[in-house]
Amino acid sequence: MTSHLMLKEGALENKVIVITGGGTGLGRSMGKSFLELGAKLVIASRKMDILEKTASELTELTKGEVLPLKCDITDYAQVERMLKNACDKFGKVDSLVNNAAGNFISPTERLSNRAFDIIVNIVLKGTYNCTLAFGKHWIKEEKKNSSVLNIVTTYAWTGSAYVVPSACAKAGVLALTRSLAVEWAKYGIRFNAIAPGPFPTKGAWERLLPGELMEKFDPALRNPLKRMGEHQELTNLASYLVSDYSGFINGEVITIDGGEWLKGAGEFNMLEDAAKKEDWDNIEKMVRKAKSE
């Protein structure tokens, strides 16, 4: 565990980075680290009051430059406007972090088609809207050395009950990451993704672990490392992936979950919690006996 920056001072100097959903949660934390490493920052989402508050707090904390921009990423015209405003202010954009998301737990049969649309529109459509607008811009400008970092989750490849629209959309974002990593490499645009396990944020916890669910299903207890992620651990990885140090990493998804999804996947991993020392003594006897018969 660490609460320190990993990269050296100035590692992101001269970089202009746009983070969607950068006013709250993990987006805000990534923004703070990017600023501490010398980047200029644009944070974009729907709620201007939250963005402005975050921008002034981060400026105060880091003395860096932050531009808050109101933008609903489900609307392509707003995304184009956001990109233009970012370029007008800073002259260029180097990296896009597709971090904004919408999600809540619900049995799928209780969802209206509009509820399904809302989540897929934010997560998948919002991500491809931003990616398309920024990508076209970089290609037109013949700018080399740009990058896109997509925040997905481990159920992008396992799927998950009770968050089905989010799982469908995150799977799409992962496909987008891997597809464009190859197609747009010739334009000098790298694509990578981070798949976080549980990192406490207000936005996620209120919608995924409301009320008693947090006590009943504490993600820390289910994790092989018996804890949740620390924001700094994720922001250090994100800083590396938008920096030039990761210049040869392209099309990768990096899981940062303490081993959580693998624990759910391995056939006998449940024995970790189910079998104690005495159980193992009995089990060994039975297994040895089977061999001798």
Using rule CB under 6 A, residue 263 touches ligand HXC: no
For ligand NAP, the closer of residues 46 and 92 by Cβ is: 46
Closest distance to ligand HXC from the beta carbon of 267 (Å) = 23
| Structure token pair of residue 78 | 């707003």
Distance CA 229, CA 225 (A): 10
Partner whose footprint covers residue 118, from ligand HXC, ligand NAP, none (CB < 5 to 8 Å by kind): ligand HXC
**Could you tell which of ligand HXC, ligand NAP, none binds residue 26, using a CB distance below 5 to 8 A set by kind?**
ligand NAP
**Contacts of ligand NAP in 136-195 (CB under 6 A):** 151, 153
Is residue 155 annotated as part of the catalytic site, yes or no? Answer: yes
Structure token digits, residue 135? 């990508």
CA 213 to chain centre: 23
Instruction: Give the residue, chosen from 4, 114, 276, 288, that forms a contact with ligand HXC under the rule CB under 6 A.
Output: 114
Q: Would you count residue 204 as binding ligand HXC (CB under 6 A)?
A: yes
Residue from 60, 112, 290, 293 touching ligand HXC (CB under 6 A): that is 112
**Binding segment (CB under 6 A) for ligand NAP, from list 20-28, 104-112, 136-144, 269-277:** 20-28
Strands 189-196 and 66-70, by their bridges, are unpaired
Nearer to ligand NAP, 235 or 246 (CB): 235
- Name beta bridge partners: 146: 189
Helical residues (DSSP H) of 37-125, grouped into ranges: 48-62, 76-90, 113-120
Q: Which of 5, 6, 50, 115 binds ligand HXC (CB under 6 A)?
A: 115
Q: Which of 128, 155, 162, 245 is catalytic?
A: 155
CA angle 277, 280, 285 (to 5 degrees): 135
Cβ nearer to ligand HXC, comparing 53 with 143: 53
**Helix H segments across the chain?**
25-36, 48-62, 76-90, 113-120, 126-141, 155-158, 164-183, 202-208, 213-216, 219-222, 231-242, 260-265, 271-274, 277-292
Instruction: Specify burial of residue 167 (Cβ count, 10 A radius: 0-12, 13-18, 19+).
Output: buried
Considering beta carbons, is residue 101 or 194 the nearer one to ligand HXC? 101
Question: Cβ of 78: how many Cβ atoms within 10 Å?
Answer: 18
If contact means CB under 5 to 8 A according to the sort of partner, which of ligand HXC, ligand NAP, none does residue 178 touch? none
Residue 111's binding partner among ligand HXC, ligand NAP, none (Cβ under 5 to 8 angstroms by kind) is ligand HXC
Angle among Cα 212, 214, 216 to the nearest 5 degrees reads: 70
**Residue carrying the six token digits 């008693």:** 212
Active site residues: 155
Applying CB under 6 A, which residues contact ligand NAP?
A: 20-21, 23-27, 45-47, 50, 71-74, 99-102, 122, 126, 151, 153, 196, 198-199, 201, 203-204
